[in-house]
Every structure is written in C-alpha cells, then in structure tokens.
C-alpha cells in the first residue's frame, strides 16, 4: 500500500527559525498583501484547456495460436481452437481541430483495432485512425459520428520556449481521470533521449506518469507547446524528468492529416550524418563540438545533386544553428516539400551555402505479402525495399533485399526471432530481392533452411531444420 507522510511540527519550527535568521536581502518571498493575491491560481488556464484534453482507450483481440496448429496431424490428435485474448492500451489525447481530430502518441494506438475517445464531459466516441507516424511517435484520430464543433486547443510556438518557463501537463495518469500538474521547462532541444527518430524534446519536471502519453503540455496562456510522450523513471512513476514532442512538430503531422494524407511526407536529404567529436571539432577550428558531419552521400539524391560532399560539416539550416545530427534531422523534417533550404556548411576552412531541394523520398510498389506457408517465415509480412521504406524502417537507403515490415504474434517467425526491420537477402544460396522471391522460397519444402539477413547493418546467417 502507498504510505503517506505528514510533516512534523518540530521540523516546521526549525525551518521557520532558520528563515527568520536569514538576511533581509535573501528573503525574496513575502506574505500576500491582499485577498486577490491569495486567489492567484492556474485555474483559469485549466478551465480553458481541459475541454480539449481527452482520454484514449485502445484494444485489440489477439489469438493465442500455437505454431503447431498449422499442422493437420497436430490438429487431428490434439484438436482445440485458438484462444482469444484482449490487449488494451490507455493514454491521453488533445483535440486539435474543431471537426474532431485528436492528436495522441502512436505508441498508444499502435497495432490496435478498436479506439475510443472519452471527452472531459464524459461523453465517449468511437474513433478511426487517420494517420500514424512512428517516426515522430504521433497519431491522428477522428471522432466518428460527430456532427458538432469540438473545443480545439490553440497552438503555441515551441521554438519560443525557454528553460525556466512555467508549464502545465494535462492527461490521464494511471487511468485515475483527468489530472493537471505543473512545473517548469527543464531543458529544450533534448537530443540524446532515444525515443523517436526525431530526437528534439522539451524536458519538464511537471509530473508525467503512465497514461499521460499523448496528453497536453501547455503554457500559461493555455496554448499547446508539446505532446507528452515519455518519462525517465526507475520506478515506473514520475521522477521529475518528462519529455514532450514540440508543438511545431505536431503541426507538421496535423497538416498532413488535414490535407487528406495517411502518411507524413517529409523531405529527403540523401546523406548519412554523424556526430562531431572533440577531435573533429578541433580539426575544423571550432570552439566546441557542434554541427553534423556528412559521412556518406547517396548517389543522385538531393544532397548529391546539390553538391554536398563527404567530410562537409553542416552547422546551420536556414540560418538556425544545429548542434548535432538529431537537431538537424528535426529542423530538416519540419520543412515542407517543394522549394529548397539553405545549409551553412564548413568546407576547407571556410563556410559556404548549399541549397538543398526539398523533395519526397522516392518510393515504389511495396507489394506487401503475408507468408502463411509452413516455413521459418510463417507469420512474416514482407515488402519490397525502397528508399522510402528504408527511411521508415531506419535502414540504409542503398540496401537491396526484402524487408520484414511485421511479424505476427505467436507465429513461427516470431518464435525463431525474426524482427521488424530485418532484411532477407538470401535463402539457401538464392538471392532474395523482392517479397515475391521470399514468398516463392517460403513455399518450398527444404530439409534445411540457410538464411542470411541484415540486422542493424550487419549480416547474420542462421540455419533451421525443415
């Protein structure tokens, strides 16, 4: 059971005596001088904002199916049917459009089939998933059968935040109901967090707990300046380090949904960047390690055609300095496709400008196929690898092979350790370059399966019995 501690009077007396002994200059607080000052509160902001914050309930039905159920002999002698189990997810969300568009975290609704949204006034609506963006961990829902205008939150400029600004976090922690906490912005542009592709978070000490994911982080004007997404915790509860996705990134995702797209289209650079070490910084004559070093450039990509070279150091984008590759990725991803952006680049001891065209990453027919035949790949959903899919899966865009985009639960492939993002490149010595190749190979009855995949950029060879 939780324990509650009541402050002792002895400690209070000691603190009061110590405060009285302090010099007058150190006593920056004062007793409220009027009744009005005693009534100062965040309540007016909370009343304005809370109607826009919702609870998100997601669920899906999962079959606990043993892989041997695919064997007719096993079914004949042992019989039985797969048992169904309901998996549930709980989070928060924010109404961002009066028509009933709700922003939440992708991880709240990922792989879920049924989504319900509960408003602050206790009404519930079924919701459809309009857009999912795993790279930013954001998703957009639409309330079904909603013939009314909803209280949408107004947006603030997250780039205008400063460390020390007061903020409120609103959500549904632990499913106890809508809750408001307050704190300050502890840091901005946090890039070494490892939660999403675009690591550029607002850090706050406002209490954020499980269930707050997808909720609102607002300023004292009641404007949305972030969507709460994660906490740093050793206990599972708040320890004063929470992270929110900046509102300016939320705007980009929302704009795609409002434009009728089911995916977020972002510009493609076509270059692999790496962090700047102290040694690299010294070689460029910098006072401190900063910027993004160009490691490789993809042939015929926007970076290649613009003249960006391996060894260039990107220090700014459209006049805004970038501290590291994560900061650059965030700033670049905020750009709309079409037109161009100006990069500040250090090359051969001088700074030059490189104009990068803002273009979509090239895609192709993915031809997704679910492997159902009895084989090590049973339960794998495979797709043709394109630069666009490689970007989504965080893979090298120059790779060739067949990508694993999903592995079903309780499947043979899941039991053997296959993962989303694996790239199958060979089966029994035969090169695999498409989902059709993989499906054809999986349909054969091999006594031994010699499989080569790429995982995290490294080749792995495994052998399975037939």
Active site residues: 107, 137, 213
- Quote the tokens at residue 75: 């079914």
Residue 462 phi/psi, 5° resolution?
-135, 160
Phi first, then psi, for residue 136 (nearest 5°) are -105, -5
Helices (H), 22-134: 35-38, 43-49, 72-78, 106-109
Q: Specify whether the backbone of 326 is left (phi greater than 0), alpha (psi in -120 to 50) or beta.
A: alpha
Place of tokens 């010699």: 450
Short-list 217, 94, 131, CA closest to 167: 217
414/406 Cα distance (integer angstroms) = 10
Half-sphere exposure of 325 (CA within 13 A, CB side): 14
Collapse the DSSP code of 251 into the 3-class scheme (helix H, G, I; strand E, B; otherwise coil) and give the result: helix
R_g of the chain computed on alpha carbons? 26
- Cβ density class 358-383: b for 16+ within 10 Å, e for less: bbebeeeebeebbbbeebbbbbbbbb
171 class by beta-carbon count within 10 Å (0-12 exposed, 13-18 middle, 19+ buried): buried
Pairing of strands 380-384, 402-407: antiparallel
Say if CB 219 and CB 198 are below 8 A apart: no
CA angle (291, 293, 296) in 5-degree steps:
155
* Rounded-to-integer distance, Cα 205 and Cα 83, Å: 43
């Amino acid at each position: 059971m939780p324990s509650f501690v009541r402050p002792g009077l002895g400690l209070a007396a000691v603190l009061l005596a110590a405060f009285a002994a302090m010099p007058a200059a150190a006593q920056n607080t004062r007793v409220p001088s009027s009744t009005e000052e005693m009534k100062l509160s965040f309540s007016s902001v909370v009343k304005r904002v809370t109607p826009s914050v919702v609870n998100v309930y997601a669920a899906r039905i999962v079959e606990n199916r043993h892989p041997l159920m695919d064997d007719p002999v096993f079914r004949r002698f042992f019989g039985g049917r797969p048992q169904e189990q309901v998996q549930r997810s709980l989070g928060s969300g924010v109404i961002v459009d009066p028509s009933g568009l709700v922003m939440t975290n992708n991880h709240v609704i990922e792989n879920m089939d049924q989504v319900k949204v509960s408003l602050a006034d206790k009404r519930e609506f079924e919701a459809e998933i309009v857009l999912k963006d795993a790279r930013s961990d954001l998703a957009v829902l639409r309330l079904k059968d909603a013939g009314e205008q909803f209280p949408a939150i107004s947006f603030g400029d997250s780039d205008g935040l400063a460390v020390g600004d007061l903020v409120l976090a609103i959500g549904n922690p632990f499913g106890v109901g809508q809750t408001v906490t307050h704190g300050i912005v502890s840091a901005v542009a946090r890039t070494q967090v490892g939660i999403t592709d675009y690591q550029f978070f607002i850090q706050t000490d406002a209490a954020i707990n499980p269930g707050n994911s997808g909720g609102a982080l607002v300023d004292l004007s009641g404007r949305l300046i972030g969507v709460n997404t994660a906490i740093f915790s050793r206990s599972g509860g708040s320890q004063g380090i929470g992270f929110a996705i900046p509102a300016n990134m939320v705007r980009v995702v929302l704009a795609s949904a409002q434009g009728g797209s089911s995916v977020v289209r972002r510009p493609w650079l076509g270059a692999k960047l790496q962090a700047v070490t102290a040694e690299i910084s010294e070689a460029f004559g910098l006072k401190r390690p900063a910027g993004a070093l160009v490691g490789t450039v993809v042939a015929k990509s926007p970076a290649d055609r613009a003249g960006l070279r391996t060894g260039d150091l990107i220090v700014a984008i459209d006049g805004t300095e970038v501290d590291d590759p994560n900061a650059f990725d965030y700033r670049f991803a905020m750009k709309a496709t079409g037109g161009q952006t100006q990069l500040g680049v250090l090359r051969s001891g001088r700074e030059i400008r490189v104009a990068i065209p803002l273009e979509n990453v090239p895609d192709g027919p993915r031809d997704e196929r679910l492997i159902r035949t009895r084989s090590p790949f049973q339960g794998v959903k495979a797709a043709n690898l394109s630069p666009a899919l490689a970007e989504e899966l965080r893979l090298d865009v120059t790779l060739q092979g067949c990508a694993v985009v999903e592995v079903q639960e309780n499947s043979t492939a899941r039991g053997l350790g296959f993962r989303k993002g694996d790239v199958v490149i060979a089966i029994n010595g035969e090169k695999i370059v498409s989902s059709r190749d993989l499906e054809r190979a999986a349909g054969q009855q091999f006594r031994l399966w010699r499989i080569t995949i790429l995982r995290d950029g490294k080749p792995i060879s495994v052998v399975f019995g037939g």
